[in-house]
């Protein structure tokens, strides 16, 4: 016989209770960082694992963050007169090989299409790992005179790099999303200026949006993009693993590609000249860095500026309470916040208990939770709970928008401050090899005086090779401490030229 409604409700409740026990995190951030990270990205519903290693499904909770970052960055580069383009995904072997000196090291990572249906293609076609070789033949065609310059191209797309080292969602995946900017100028001065303008936008993405502290700096000759003149980057640091991680790069390519692809223009004097080029990119890796930085044992913690939902409103109807009144108050709170431009949403699901909802939204990292129960309804107030520190405040409903704004701003600022304090606590300034090794073993971010010789960096790599990977330069920060004359390189004993960040990295 069919269950009565009441019986059915009890059954569904029991089911939920079971689910309730399943919800939550099995791993702790400090105990098993790798497993903790996988659990966070899956349980928060950002990522679903896929049956091809190194490929992941990006669910709305990740894609909405990517869209928010994109919205900011796209508006900023449009102010710099960048134009949107879309170039094909495929590139012929012939064209790809044009860049052969630099492609050599990357060649094992290039993925190829060799068949259509059952028949072999006449020639294999590569899937873009980056688009220099796809774009630059056309830049050569489109640029004739100084009036065609500058040419400023940006595309949002996917790229494929068939990596073999251990894949990690967002951080190292075989297909990822990025923007790639490719710009062409008549003079080196213009190119130099843009490199730094873009780097500053990357800093803002990390610090203002993702609340992740980064250092701006220049890559060593060994670590720069070999095809370019110089590489700048923003570098983040993950205290739990003691690894640096490149956040984004902005390269000045100089005239190397202009020579390879014959990109020249007629200048004002009627002479042929070679162009100057830049290229720059940031990727969905940025989301992974944010997860690693702020997540905790309850799951994800999202900075308000990138949270798809900034405020989740949850009705708390005790039995015999005025359920309709509570629901109405919740709806009205969501409406008021939405009207004020705050991303608020109502969790009105009736088959989940309030406690279960709290855990789920905590896992998803929503910055603020609003609870409205009978007492709140009677007092015309709401209870707001912060995801970062769990503090609770009761505020009058009339002050809702104002108070939520204050809390969200404080939340955003607090995340960056906390992350910066943790990062800074990991920085050690060293002067000798022994100090260097001790700091490395201690998972520190090392700032060391360096002679800036490639041979020495190679040597450091060789001497630190091991299971955890070798140490290398992360960057030479633009913000340089004093370097007293007579300071020597920690690794070679030669006169030091600069302070550089060293460490293991992703």
Q: According to the binding rule CB under 6 A, does residue 130 interact with ligand 87F? A: yes
Options 124-132, 344-352, 388-396, 442-450: segment touching ligand 87F (CB under 6 A): 124-132
Q: According to the binding rule CB under 6 A, does residue 360 interact with ligand 87F? A: no
Q: Is 288 left (phi over 0), alpha (psi -120 to 50) or beta?
A: alpha
Helix axes 60-79, 188-204, angle to 10 degrees: 140
Of 180 and 388, nearer to ligand 87F (C-beta) is 180
By CB under 6 A, the count of residues binding ligand 87F is 15
Q: According to the binding rule CB under 6 A, does residue 195 interact with ligand 87F? A: no
Shortest distance (Å) from residue 132 CB to ligand 87F: 6
Identified binder of ligand 87F from the candidate list 206, 261, 276, 280, rule CB under 6 A: 280
- How far is residue 270 from each of residues 73, 366, 429, measured CA to CA in Å? 37, 60, 53
Phi, psi of 186 (to 5 degrees): -80, -25
* Interface positions, 234-263, toward ligand 87F (CB under 6 A): 249, 251
- How far is residue 157 from each of residues 84, 120, 185, 282, measured CA to CA in Å? 11, 27, 23, 11
Alpha-carbon gap, residue 430 to 314, rounded angstroms:
51
Shortest distance (Å) from residue 164 CB to ligand 87F: 12
Q: According to the binding rule CB under 6 A, does residue 161 interact with ligand 87F? A: yes
Alpha-carbon gap, residue 480 to 74, rounded angstroms:
31
Q: Give SS3 for 435.
A: helix
State how far Cα 505 lies from the chain centre: 15
Shortest distance (Å) from residue 219 CB to ligand 87F: 10
* Interface positions, 406-445, toward ligand 87F (CB under 6 A): none
Shortest distance (Å) from residue 29 CB to ligand 87F: 30
- Provide the token pair at 436: 């260097």
Q: According to the binding rule CB under 6 A, does residue 199 interact with ligand 87F? A: no
Of 198 and 329, nearer to ligand 87F (C-beta) is 198
Q: According to the binding rule CB under 6 A, does residue 128 interact with ligand 87F? A: no
- Provide the token pair at 373: 């129960």
Alpha-carbon gap, residue 209 to 412, rounded angstroms:
8
- How far is residue 249 from each of residues 223, 228, 422, 483, measured CA to CA in Å? 11, 12, 24, 26
Q: According to the binding rule CB under 6 A, does residue 134 interact with ligand 87F? A: no
Identified binder of ligand 87F from the candidate list 25, 66, 129, 202, rule CB under 6 A: 129
Identified binder of ligand 87F from the candidate list 180, 371, 388, 457, rule CB under 6 A: 180
Shortest distance (Å) from residue 412 CB to ligand 87F: 28
Of 226 and 401, nearer to ligand 87F (C-beta) is 226
Of 170 and 225, nearer to ligand 87F (C-beta) is 225
Identified binder of ligand 87F from the candidate list 136, 225, 265, 450, rule CB under 6 A: 225
Q: According to the binding rule CB under 6 A, does residue 218 interact with ligand 87F? A: no
Relative to beta strand 381-386, strand 392-396 is antiparallel
Of 105 and 117, nearer to ligand 87F (C-beta) is 105
Options 4-12, 261-269, 277-285, 466-474: segment touching ligand 87F (CB under 6 A): 277-285
How many residues in the chain? 506
Which residues lie across from 2 on neighbouring strands? none
Identified binder of ligand 87F from the candidate list 41, 281, 372, 451, rule CB under 6 A: 281
Q: According to the binding rule CB under 6 A, does residue 61 interact with ligand 87F? A: no
Options 274-282, 316-324, 364-372, 379-387: segment touching ligand 87F (CB under 6 A): 274-282
127 near 90, Cβ under 8 Å?
A: yes
End-to-end CA distance of the chain: 60
Of 132 and 194, nearer to ligand 87F (C-beta) is 132
String of b and e for 334-359 (b: at least 16 CB within 10 Å)?
Answer: bebbeeeebbbbbbeeeebbeebbbb
Of 249 and 256, nearer to ligand 87F (C-beta) is 249
**Of 206, 170, 165, 167, whose CA–CA distance to 283 is shortest?**
170
Q: Let me know the angle formed at the C-alpha of 164 by 158 and 165, rounded to the nearest 5 degrees.
A: 105
Of 133 and 310, nearer to ligand 87F (C-beta) is 133
115 near 232, Cβ under 8 Å?
A: no
Of 103 and 491, nearer to ligand 87F (C-beta) is 103
152 near 80, Cβ under 8 Å?
A: yes
Binding mask 87-116 for ligand 87F (x = CB under 6 A): ----------------x--x--xx------
**Of 104, 267, 263, 101, whose CA–CA distance to 182 is shortest?**
263
Q: According to the binding rule CB under 6 A, does residue 154 interact with ligand 87F? A: no
Alpha-carbon gap, residue 303 to 389, rounded angstroms:
13
DSSP structure class, residue 216: E
Q: Which residues bind ligand 87F (CB under 6 A)?
A: 103, 106, 109-110, 129-130, 132, 161, 180, 225, 249, 251, 279-281
């Amino acid at each position: 016989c069919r269950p009565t409604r009441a019986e059915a409700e009890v059954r569904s409740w029991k089911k939920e209770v079971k689910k309730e026990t399943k919800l939550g995190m099995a791993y702790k951030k400090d105990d098993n960082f790798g497993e903790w990270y996988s659990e966070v990205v899956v349980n928060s519903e950002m990522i679903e694992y896929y049956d091809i290693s190194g490929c992941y499904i990006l669910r709305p909770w990740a894609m909405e963050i990517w869209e928010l970052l994109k919205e900011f960055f796209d508006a900023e580069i449009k102010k710099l007169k960048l134009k949107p383009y879309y170039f094909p995904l495929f590139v012929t072997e012939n064209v790809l090989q044009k860049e052969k000196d630099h492609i050599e090291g990357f060649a094992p990572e290039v993925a190829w299409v060799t068949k259509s249906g059952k028949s072999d293609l006449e020639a294999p076609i590569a899937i873009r790992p980056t688009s220099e070789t796809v774009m630059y033949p056309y830049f050569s065609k489109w640029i004739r005179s100084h009036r065609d310059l500058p040419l400023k191209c940006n595309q949002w797309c996917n790229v494929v790099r068939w990596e073999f080292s251990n894949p990690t969602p967002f951080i190292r995946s075989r297909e990822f999303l990025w923007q790639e900017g490719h710009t062409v100028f008549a003079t080196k001065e213009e190119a130099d200026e843009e490199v730094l303008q873009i780097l500053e936008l990357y800093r803002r993405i990390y610090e203002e949006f993702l609340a992740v502290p980064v250092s701006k700096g220049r890559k060593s000759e060994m670590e720069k993009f070999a095809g370019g003149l110089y590489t700048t980057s923003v570098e983040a640091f993950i205290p739990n693993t003691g690894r640096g991680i490149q956040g984004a790069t902005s390269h000045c390519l100089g005239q190397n590609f202009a020579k390879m692809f014959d990109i020249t223009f007629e200048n004002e004097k009627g002479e042929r000249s070679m162009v100057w080029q830049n290229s720059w990119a940031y990727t969905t890796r940025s989301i992974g860095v944010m997860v690693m930085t702020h997540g905790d044992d309850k799951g994800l913690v999202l900075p308000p500026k990138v949270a798809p939902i900034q405020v989740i409103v949850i009705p708390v109807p005790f039995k015999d309470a005025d359920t309709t009144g509570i629901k109405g108050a919740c709806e009205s709170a969501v409406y008021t916040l939405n009207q004020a431009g705050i991303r608020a949403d109502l969790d009105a699901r009736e088959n989940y208990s309030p406690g279960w909802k709290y855990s789920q939204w905590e896992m998803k990292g929503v910055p603020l939770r609003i609870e409205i129960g009978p007492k709140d309804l009677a007092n015309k107030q709401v209870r707001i709970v912060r995801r970062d520190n769990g503090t609770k405040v009761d505020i009058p409903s009339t002050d809702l928008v104002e108070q939520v704004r204050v809390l969200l701003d404080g939340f955003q600022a607090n995340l960056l401050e906390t992350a910066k304090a943790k990062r800074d606590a990991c920085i050690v300034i060293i002067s000798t090899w022994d100090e260097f090794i001790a700091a490395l073993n201690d998972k520190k971010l090392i700032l060391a005086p360096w002679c800036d010789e490639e041979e020495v960096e190679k040597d450091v790599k060789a001497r630190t090779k091991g299971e955890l990977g070798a140490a290398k330069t992360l960057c030479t920060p633009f913000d340089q401490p004093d370097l007293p004359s007579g300071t020597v390189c920690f690794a070679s004993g030669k006169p030091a030229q600069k302070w550089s960040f060293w460490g293991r990295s992703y």
